Structure 1
Amino acid sequence: MIGRTKRTPWHDSAFTRAMVAAMTVGAVPGSEVVLETSRLLLRPWRVAEAVVQHELWTERDPRVPPHRRIDADGHPTVAELEGSIRTNQLWSSGLLAVERKASRDVIGYCGLVDSERGSAGEPELAFELLRRVWRQGYATEASLAVLEWARSSGYERLWATVWDWNTASRRVLAKVGFTETERKEVDAVYGTNLLFTTRRL
């Protein structure tokens, strides 16, 4: 999972705005981004798939900041995540559902989100997959599809942030062409968030 340090509740409007994806910028109203690889289909979320989002929230590493995990009151609930999909708020079309074509099951997300770290028009790559499908190359495959989409859409550079302890995500970023920068965001409780960037696409 790509790490983020912003500490706002999952339902906070500022957090929602931060997750409005760059993949929708300049899109024709009503159009949808759909990407395909040999094994995967990356497409907008469907309401019934809120259970997958909830599973992602539930199984996150305890080192992830609390605003990215299920809280003590059980939020976000499946119903709340369903509402987010219906209103295109938290999980916008920039964070695409990753579906395995062979089994037709959704296993996580991958896409672009607005970034505060680069220049205008330089979004961040974000991905997260269910634990049961780790180490099968899906994150790399999905990320490469998003990078190709970004390249063909005129983006020149992308960013990514990841916790220093998240070695799996760091390996994926290296495989798809990201390099670590000297910039870091240190959190005394949760660790250091590392900043990666691509060469010019």
Structure 2
Amino acid sequence: MNRARVSEGEVVLETDRLLLRRWRVSDAALQRELWTERDPRVPPHRRIAPDGHPTLEDIEGWMRRRDPDTSLGLLAAERRGSGDVIGYCGLIQNVHGQDGEPELAYEFLRRVWRQGYATEASWAVLSWAKESGYRRLWATVRDWNTASRRVMAKLGFVETARVEPDNAYGNSLFYMKDL
């Protein structure tokens, strides 16, 4: 089951186990927890800095200033029934040069890894992207991230020949999927 509702700037995607929705300021602590769990191989600008930034207040501010575009955005992944937020999945602007073709992005708390949530949420986002009129999606995955590489394969993404070398944090591999 994948259902999408888009109305008045709100997006809600439903799967069998998840509700994907816009972030609420009350979700900021969970978002910061994701930052604290990131692998040390993730570049420093995406991890908690030695000075503690981003702080909870920084993240709350980002959530208050969210983009009103209903065809892009990272959606909080909330488990149906329990209501606990366990990560996110969505579409972001592709900064790698494919104009008008967004990038799939997701991240989940370590305690829910290996339960299929990334794949399930991504299928819902792929349907949303297609309904929004996108014809192709991209994704970038670090070469060391074998779990995300497996998710890409399950979703039918194809690894391209493009690689962004990074000796410090691992090469970024570029994946593409026609919708």
Decide: shared fold, TM above 0.5: yes
Alpha-carbon shift at residue 118 of structure 1 (Å): 5.0
Letter in 1 for 2:98: S
Corresponding residue of 2:142: 163
Of the candidates 16, 40, 63, which is equivalent to residue 41 of structure 2? 63
Indicate the percent of aligned positions where both proteins have the same amino acid. Answer: 66
Of the candidates 34, 41, 45, which is equivalent to residue 12 of structure 2? 34
Letter in 2 for 1:54: R
Of the candidates 24, 47, 51, which is equivalent to residue 25 of structure 2? 47
Alpha-carbon shift at residue 80 of structure 1 (Å): 1.2
Higher strand share: 2
Alpha-carbon shift at residue 54 of structure 1 (Å): 0.4
Of the candidates 109, 112, 117, which is equivalent to residue 88 of structure 2? 109
Task: State yes or no: 1:72 paired with 2:17.
Answer: no
Task: State yes or no: 1:119 paired with 2:119.
Answer: no
Counterparts of residues 77-96 of structure 1 (less than 5 Å): 77-88=55-66, 94-96=73-75
Structure 1, residues 52-86: CA drift from partner, whole Å, max 9, x if none? 00000001000000000000000001111111111
Instruction: Note the aligned Cα RMSD (angstroms).
Output: 1.6
Structure 1, residues 147-183: CA drift from partner, whole Å, max 9, x if none? 0111122111000000000001111111011010000
Letter in 2 for 1:64: V
Deviates more, 1:128-137 or 1:113-122: 113-122
Q: Which has the higher contact order (CA 8 A, sep 6+)?
A: 1
Q: What is the TM-score with the length of structure 1 in the denominator?
A: 0.81
Instruction: Point out where structure 2 has 5 or more consecutive residues left out of the alignment.
Output: 1-5
Instruction: Point out where structure 1 has 5 or more consecutive residues left out of the alignment.
Output: 1-26
Once residues 158 and 123 of structure 1 are traced to their aligned partners in structure 2, the CA distance between those partners, rounded to angstroms, is: 6
